Amino acid sequence: MIRRDRKGRANRPRPQPYRRLRWRLRRLAEPPTRLLRWIWRWIEPIWPALAVVITLGLALLRLRPAFPTFGDLDKGIYIAAWGTFFDVLLVAVILVLFEAVRQRRDRIERHLEEIDDYKKWDSEEARLRIAGSIRRLARLGKTDIDFGGLILRNFSFKDQDIQSLAGATFSEGLRLDRMSKNNTQLENIDFSFVDCSSVVFSRSFDTFAVLGLTGKNLNFISSNLASASFDGARLSWTDYKADEPDWFVDEGQDDEGQPMIRQVYYPAFDGADLAGCSFRYAELDHADFRGAVNILKADFTGAKGLGSCFFDAAVRDKVLASAANSTPTKSHVVRVGCASSDGF
């Protein structure tokens, strides 16, 4: 809720700094958390055997200084105990670890096959099954999933507790080896607060882009799009609001009689990290980049439709200059629009 001040003036601060702070704090907490999960993923199947091995090893090491005082029988038992230690280490730890790796690989393959089976079925059941498979793959440490050929509508990764798609692939352009991987379609999809770093949403070979991603009304609020690729994608938005006053609605008054205003619209890339993100030769229709982070580090070479897009006024000219300087030929020079009442 956003209140008005005592003089009745609307207090409408844009929330990006706070949203960005939360996002950055979460990014700082991700590496140690991810490391601990990775370590536990390998220890979990072998921890009983590992506990026995560690306990036995510590006991034998503790008795090592007293070995010269042992009798012949005690020395024989001590040496045999070390043999048992290495047997347990080999059988109960190493072999169990190999079996755990094999089972993990089988589970990953099974979940990937389930996604592949349901990716063309546009239904609520298919969406729930795909979401479940993604969550289980994430628990197995697999986020670089191949979604090629996926048809998905009205879906929120955040609402399905999916936090990371890092390294995933949605479209690699024309695939002649597997035709089912072509023609990826996403509509009304929410990637907000999801780690989409290094995700290949679409890929093109220079100006040649065939059967790449077709996306409509995609949201990337506070998501990590570092090194992501939208090359050759066709992206459009119909739910944009050009004027900032339209982002807010009046919620009446609070208990103190002060007017309250709620923000109901956020730009599609608000708070998203675009460092190294590529939109080369993409077709963009009314994309809203206002509030995006590191937008000057994104690549718009050869992008079309930038005249209909929305940018913060402070970076508009710099984006224009960057796109023009990186464009290889005059035919690819593009114009960059900024927020205005008519969207152009």
- Res. 157: pLDDT tops 70: yes
pLDDT-derived band at 159 (thresholds 50, 70, 90) equals: very high
| Domain extent for 98 | 2-332
What pLDDT score does 336 carry? 39
**Is residue 337 one of the residues assigned to a domain?**
no
Instruction: Count the alpha carbons within 13 Å of 289 in the hemisphere toward its beta carbon.
Output: 29
Among 4-13, 102-111, 179-188, the least confident range: 4-13
**Is residue 166 one of the residues assigned to a domain?**
yes
What pLDDT score does 38 carry? 61
Question: What is the identity of the amino acid at 293?
Answer: V
Q: H or E segment at 283?
A: strand 283-285
The residue-averaged pLDDT of 281-310 equals 92
**Is residue 339 one of the residues assigned to a domain?**
no
What pLDDT score does 128 carry? 93
Among 37-41, 83-87, 153-157, the least confident range: 37-41
**Is residue 342 one of the residues assigned to a domain?**
no
The residue-averaged pLDDT of 84-102 equals 76
CA 247/CA 52 separation, integer angstroms: 61
**Is residue 341 one of the residues assigned to a domain?**
no
What pLDDT score does 25 carry? 56
Q: How many domains does the chain have?
A: 1
**Is residue 338 one of the residues assigned to a domain?**
no
Whole-model pTM: value is 0.71
CA 214/CA 235 separation, integer angstroms: 6
pLDDT tens per residue, range 25-63: 555 555 566 666 666 666 666 677 677 778 878 888 888
**Residue-averaged pLDDT of the chain:** 80
The residue-averaged pLDDT of 60-70 equals 78
> Among residues of the chain, what percentage have pLDDT more than 90?
42
CB 166 within 8 A of CB 198: yes
Highest mean pLDDT among 35-39, 272-276, 313-317: 272-276
**Is residue 186 one of the residues assigned to a domain?**
yes
**Is residue 78 one of the residues assigned to a domain?**
yes
CA 285 to each of CA 201, 244, 323: distance values in angstroms, whole numbers, following the listed order:
17, 19, 17
